[in-house]
Amino acid sequence: MVKELAERLGEVESIVVESKQVERTPNMERCVQSSTSVIEPKGKKSLMLGKKVKLCDMEGHPVANAIIMSLDKSKMVMGKSLGEEYYEVAILFAYKPNAPLFVKDNERKTIQDAVESHIVWSGEFVEVDDT
C-alpha cells in the first residue's frame, strides 16, 4: 500500500500549483488555512489529489504527513460523507501519534491507529507539503 501511494505521489508531484494555498508561520510549526479557500479558483482543489500534505490539529500544529486520496464530495469514508469540509487521506507517518482524529471509528481514535489507512480529515487543517 505504501509503495502504491509513493508511486501515485511521484506521478502527481509534477503538477505545479500556481497559487499559494496555505499560510505558514515563520517557524513553520503551525498550519493555517489562508483566507482564500484551497478550492478556489474553481479546479484548484483537484490539483491537491495525490499531493503529499501535513495534517494539523485544531491548534494548527502538524500531527502527521499523508497523501490526499479523494476530494469527491459524495464519497463515504469512515461512515462520513466528505462533502465540502473533509478530505480522504492516507496517513504515512505520525509526528504526534497520540493526537486525536477529527472523525473516529471503532478501530481508529488516534493518528497512530490510522497510520497506513484511509481516514477523513478536515480540509481546513491540511497543508500542502512542499518538501
Q: CB of 94 within 8 A of CB of 121? A: no
Domain definitions of the chain by residue range:
39-128
**Calpha distance 69→2 (Å, rounded):** 13
pLDDT-derived band at 1, boundaries 50, 70, 90: low
Which residues sit opposite 77 in a β-bridge?
80
Q: pLDDT tens digit string along 65-102?
A: 999 999 999 999 998 899 999 999 999 999 999 999 99
Average pLDDT over residues 38-61: 75
Whether this prediction's pTM lies above 0.75 is answered by no
Q: pLDDT tens digit string along 8-49?
A: 555 444 332 332 333 443 444 455 544 333 433 345 566 788
